[in-house]
Structure 1
Amino acid sequence: MFIDEKNMVIEPTANSTLIFFLHLPKTGGTTLNSILKRQYLSHQILSIDQQFNTTIQAPQMSKAELSKLKIVKGHFSFGYHQFFSRPFTYFTMLRNPVDRVISDYYHIIRVPQHKLHNQVISQNMSLEDYVCSGISRMSENGQTKFLSGKHTEIGFNQCSSEILELAKNNLKEHFIVVGITEKFNESLILLKRALKWDFKKCLYIKQRVGNNRISKNDIPIKTLKLIQKYNQFDLELYHYGIDIFNELKEINEIDFQVKKIIFFNKIYRDYYAKLPNFAKSICQQFI
């Protein structure tokens, strides 16, 4: 039971497990969100974006609306389950921190609607400037901060080994799947099995793939080392997450399912833009 800022308690609404998708920015979550929208009905999904909030706010929903929820997704830190008196589980996607920070920077530049776009552009911030500026919680150990549940309490360059241990423990104890962006198809199959998703509705076309970023090979070594310096805890958390992922993968024996989704997803991707009905019918007929 949790009391929000208005001293209102959200009472238990159901005995079913409520799923939380903790979407860390630039980890493939937008593509995953497109899949979620096909796995669940709209009234079963609650979308939250509290990436830039200094305080975490309770959802403004009626008891009837809350009782219908199956999944809460979005940019929020671990601990959001405290607003709900229901059994819960989480899943997330982790990404190599250096790649994630680079992708985040170019995403901010590319999208005028992004909260930090004007600041980055007006100050002519380079990638190095962005990392050192502290204007974003995600530029410095952002994955660790959000998964620890302490992202609103930790200032720039104040992450610690204690915060890292909190994040590790949360992953170990409360996450049904820890996915890896670089192993997206394998992560998707693990999620399908754990959450009993419909295979046909797992087919996807990649969303928000940035086309303005330069190759990582063209970024100076000095800059890459700087990103590593500011994301040392994220790097350790990432490798810890890979260990969890590999263990899940071995237990579930998913190799055949991964080959299957790669095969059918190629049909889906290649034909969907020109012949969407044909792509859907072929996939539905043979899956």
Structure 2
Amino acid sequence: MKRHRLSACLRGRDCFSGGCDLAFRQAVFLHTQKTAGTSIVYMAREHYGAENIISHGDWLTQEPEDYCPKPFISGHFGFSLAERFFAGRYSFTFLRDPLDRIISFYSFCRGRDPREYAIYEAASRLDIDQFIELAVGDHGDDPLRQDCHNLIWNNQAWQLARGWDYKPDGKSAPTIKDYSVDDVLKFAKRNLERFDFVGFTETFDEDALVIGKQLDFDRSYVPHENSSVEIKKSSLSSATLKAIYSMTEVDQEIYAFAKRKFRNRFRRIWNIGRVISG
């Protein structure tokens, strides 16, 4: 029965059963952690209503058929889950300079309640050099080191290549270890082509306004929902910089590829200058 409901929803039926305005354009947002996506979620919540969106980790505690009717689906999930909702929806994602993303991730973890997750507790007591060391090399059976590794090691490319997905009936989903580096890069590039829009944290205000126009958000400015205090690149040791670069080589390649391929294309298609001035 659940499978039938999800199938019907993905074909465009049984949608907006929560009473959402049918005039609202539906969207799916692949929100990689620490790429400034929370501000987009804030805008979506204001536009659609909190009951008509999912975001961040909501998908982990719900069945896909339960949130399929919602007009705005976002979260820290990978492409393999996001693509199920592409049909009939405006699809988009954001990328960020890999070094900046890792610094932001550490700052975020450090500012969270250390009792919530072990990785938050680690960030609260470790400086960034020590924190990065947790993710480097053979992490064996240490769950904390595994978490750090999985959240840092080419995470942007992995979310685009396949990424985190819903695991029915307790089955385990493939991980980045099940793919070669070449395949992660190949699949990430291929999947990027399927999005309606690819934004960048470094041009977030412009890109968010473009998305807002496509989804008819009723605002002419972009809120910034980032409360963490981030450290400066110049304060990082050479060893830490080297470690981060070595763990984000594929991320760096996919980021450079995306900027070359999509930045000018989307500027032409959506005419950002007109959006901003209008």
TM-score, normalised relative to structure 2: 0.75
Partner residue in 1 for 2:75: 74
Is 1:251 aligned with 2:275?
Answer: no
Partner residue in 2 for 1:104: 105
Is 1:135 aligned with 2:147?
Answer: yes
Partner residue in 2 for 1:217: 234
Q: What amino acid maps onto 2:74 in structure 1?
A: K
Is 1:236 aligned with 2:253?
Answer: yes
Where does the alignment leave 5 or more consecutive residues of structure 1 unmatched? 261-286
Question: Would the aligned equivalents of 1:31 and 1:207 in 2 still touch at CA under 8 Å?
Answer: yes
Q: Residue 92 of structure 2 aligns to a residue in which SS? A: strand
Q: What amino acid maps onto 1:117 in structure 2?
A: Y
Partner residue in 2 for 1:164: 185
CA distance in 2, matches of 1:93, 1:188: 10
Is 1:27 aligned with 2:35?
Answer: yes
CA RMSD of aligned residues (A): 3.1
CA distance in 1, matches of 2:7, 2:43: 30
Relative to structure 1, the CA distance from residue 204 to residue 48 in structure 2 (aligned partners, 3 Å threshold; closer, same or farther) is closer
Question: Would the aligned equivalents of 2:6 and 2:65 in 1 still touch at CA under 8 Å?
Answer: no
Give runs of aligned pairs for residues 1-287 of structure 1, distance below 5 A. Answer: 10-13=6-9, 14=12, 18-47=26-55, 49=57, 58-59=63-64, 61=66, 66-67=68-69, 69-81=70-82, 86-112=87-113, 114-115=116-117, 116-121=119-124, 126-132=130-136, 133-136=145-148, 137-151=150-164, 152-155=173-176, 160-173=181-194, 175-193=195-213, 195-198=214-217, 200-211=218-229, 213-243=230-260, 244-258=262-276, 260=277
Question: Would the aligned equivalents of 1:148 and 1:170 in 2 still touch at CA under 8 Å?
Answer: yes
CA distance in 2, matches of 1:157, 1:225: 25
Deviation at 1:138, TM superposition (A): 2.1
Q: Residue 11 of structure 1 aligns to a residue in which SS? A: helix
Aligned length: 245
Relative to structure 1, the CA distance from residue 142 to residue 82 in structure 2 (aligned partners, 3 Å threshold; closer, same or farther) is closer
Q: Residue 26 of structure 1 aligns to a residue in which SS? A: coil
Q: What amino acid maps onto 1:59 in structure 2?
A: P
Identical counterparts, % of pairs = 22
